[in-house]
Structure 1
Amino acid sequence: MLDHLGLSTADHLRSRDFYLRVLAPLGYGLMTTIGKDITGGDEVFGFGPPQRPVFWISKSGKPCGGAHVAFSAGSRAAVDAFHAEALAAGASDNGAPGVRPHYHPNYYGAYVIDPDGNNVEAVCHAPAA
């Protein structure tokens, strides 16, 4: 089981602002910023649900790109809101919200490509209300 995940970004401030918007419908927020005094370089940003940061972004100048990250959503409406907010924040559509029965009958997900080329998903596993 994963504890946390980090991605390298070309522009960590742009990515911070992107993820602030995109993760809000899922209940995630910016939990912490690790400063230059600790990192010796640029800030590192940790996002998560209210308990603790589980998703980290940092600047490398050379983003990893091509990674796939899936965030759990509490409802299908949250998946829809994630997708809409991501597109409004400049992401590219990589799969509109909908059921993906090839995974399982209640798999409801949406996919976008973030500013660094990563495939970012929100998924709800609950049956339709």
Structure 2
Amino acid sequence: MFDHVKFGVSNFEASKTFYLNALEPLGIRLVSEGTPDYGVELSTDDESSLCLFQSDEKPAHLHIAFVADTRQQVDAFYHQALAAGGKDNGEPGLRPHYHASYYAAFVIDPDGHNIEVVCHQPAP
């Protein structure tokens, strides 16, 4: 859907650690890294990426949703994100008000951004 999303973070090392750990269940990994003011690029396939960089600016909070292939990936994201310093914003579960198979979890990252992982597949 997108080529890349890049946004500033207030604590580069804390955010890098958070995203690498929280998104590992989705196969997202570090693909490149520069100085903190340039940042890191995280990806699964090198076709689309999430980029973070150190910034003193105070941007508005954002909501990013990552797609999961399985509900187990959603669960793993949630637990790893909390262990990496994220704050609960909605435990894994169905959100039928979106659609019958919308299974998602929400975590607040170190800068207050709402990070979601969603699986659209029905239960096996």
- TM-score in same-fold range (> 0.5): yes
The answer for unaligned runs of 5 or more in structure 1 is none
Q: CA deviation at 1:6?
A: 1.3
Percent of aligned positions that are identical: 44
Contact map agreement 1:97 1:108 (CA 8 A) in 2: yes
The answer for unaligned runs of 5 or more in structure 2 is none
Quick one: distance in 2 between partners of 1:11 and 1:62? 12
Aligned length: 124
The equivalent position to 1:47 in structure 2, one of 42, 49, 52, is 42
Amino acid at match of 2:9: T
Runs (4+) of structure 1 moved beyond 4 Å? none
RMSD of Structure 2 on Structure 1 (CA): 1.5
Secondary structure at the counterpart of residue 95 of structure 1: coil
Give TM-score, length-normalised by structure 2: 0.92
Quick one: distance in 1 between partners of 2:13 and 2:24? 17
Quick one: distance in 1 between partners of 2:49 and 2:92? 24
Quick one: distance in 2 between partners of 1:101 and 1:68? 19
| Number of the residue aligned with 2:101 | 106
Quick one: distance in 1 between partners of 2:42 and 2:58? 18
1:50-89 aligned at under 5 Å gives the runs: 50-89=45-84
Contact map agreement 1:63 1:116 (CA 8 A) in 2: no
Secondary structure at the counterpart of residue 61 of structure 2: coil
Contact map agreement 2:3 2:48 (CA 8 A) in 1: no
